[in-house]
Amino acid sequence: MISYRLRFLIIFSSIMASGCFCAAQDSSRTPVTMDDRPDTLLEHCIRWYSEGSYQKVIDSLSPVSDSVSAPRNYYIGLSFLAVNNYENAIVHLKRSVRIDSTNTSRRFQLARALYQYGALKESRDEYETIVCLDPEYFPAAFQLGLLLYEQRLLDEAAGIFRQTIALNPRDFLSYYYLGMCYLAREKNDSARAHLSACVTLNPNHIAALTALASLYYTEGNYSEALRLYQNGLVVRPDLPDLHFKSALCYQHLNNHQEAIVSFHKAIRQDSLNGVLWGQLGFSCFKTQDLDQAVTAYRTALEIDKDNPLYYYNLALALEKMDSTEQSAAMFHRTIAAYHPENIANTYIQLGTLYFFKKQLRNALTAYRHALDYQPGNKFAQYYMALTYDQLKDPVNAARQYQKFLSLAHDDSAQMENTQQARHRLQILKRK
């Protein structure tokens, strides 16, 4: 005999089976989907988006996105944006904004998508609309300032960054970009103040450190520039440009030993930079390390064989080493590489080399070439007269002294040479 409890379980199971069968029949006729529960679908898509499953959001929302659901269009737009599909992202984000035009967060994402797509005017319009809707929406104001700065609309950008600083006085990036706006406008005092504020708020901001250091450098305050470049090297010791600029400061401060150390550090990180080798050669020359200077200049010329300055400085170093023939050869290479307006000075230097080595005919030829390129060059005229004088050619010496005195009669810088020329001219006329 079946107990009461067992009979109850049999009846209950039959009822449940029947209910499930009916539900199955109903389901086959009208299937239940996430779209029948839109809030559930949106919740799933938000979760997938936050997990980075952007394609899943796109696949789920694309068939059901419509013109009346701002959230659906927003999240499918964000997902397209995340996979760099800007055109579809913009379509859906615009639709989201049209449906809910006062939602600044959605409009911000549209502005960002337009900016990344290159539609800068539309992006600017959206950022400006956001700032009008909510003047305290800091991200939109900052991005608007950045967009204006990149378009070199510096006065407008500066106005926006002043607003963002008022909204967030500790935002070092706003101080940096406002400082750069002033710097571009050559308002150096204002630039210095705001770049300094940026560095105070964030001592690791390399761009602000180097911009501020460069400002001090151009103003001739090499000690302060050096301090800032050195602070930058604490943060980024791997940047050759900071070592290079530190070395230039040391040069201006006449500390060539430290300059050499800094140039070597820069060269270890950027050995194919001819400028580094050329400047190293200059500091070595200043410390009388002529062998190292010659090596540095030769290395610079291997990298940049058409640079006349390297030939010229190499010639000077070789002259100091009494390598007259090699020095002369480098002066000739300088002349071949120089632009015409600089050739005269190089010929004068070559003539002076020959003059002091008592190779007077060669000196005379060099000075003639200098005057061919620059007939009014006072130094060439004076030393040409001296050379004729040394060659015991009084007629030509007197003629050249007279030409020199005509050129230099009102030049106080030539006073000593003028007195010497008058003295020699009087002597020659008596002969």
pLDDT of residue 26: 37
Report if residue 91 sits inside a domain.
Answer: yes
Contacts of residue 191, defined as CB under 8 A and 6 or more positions apart, other chains included, come to 179, 180, 182, 183, 215
pLDDT of residue 14: 43
Q: Is there a contact between 121 and 99 (Cβ–Cβ < 8 Å)?
A: no
Span between the terminal Cα atoms of the chain, in Å: 161
Q: Is residue 429 part of a domain?
A: no
Structural domain harbouring 76: 41-134
Note the pLDDT of residue 62. 79
Chain centre distance of CA 111: 27
- 260's CB contacts (< 8 A; 6+ apart) are 247, 280, 283, 284, 287
CB 321 within 8 A of CB 290: yes
Positions in the chain whose pLDDT score sits under 70: 1-39, 64-67, 340-341, 431
Q: Is residue 226, in this structure, part of any structural domain at all?
A: no
> In whole angstroms, what is the distance from residue 314 CA to residue 291 CA?
11
**Structural contact between residues 232 and 242, judged by C-beta atoms closer than 8 angstroms:** yes
Q: For position 40, what pLDDT does the model report?
A: 82
297 in a structural domain:
no
For the CA atoms of the chain, what is the radius of gyration?
A: 39
Into how many domains does the chain fold? 1
The pLDDT value given to residue 430:
76
Provide the pLDDT for residue 431.
67
Q: Residue 63: which CATH number?
A: 1.25.40.10
In a domain, 313, yes or no: no
- Here the tokens at position 99 are 């449906």
Task: Encode pLDDT of 50-107 as tens digits.
Answer: 999 999 999 888 776 566 789 999 999 999 999 999 999 999 999 999 999 999 999 9
Q: Quote the tokens at residue 264.
A: 């070597």
Output the DSSP codes for 247-290.
HHHHHHTT-HHHHHHHHHHHHHH-TT-HHHHHHHHHHHHHTT-H
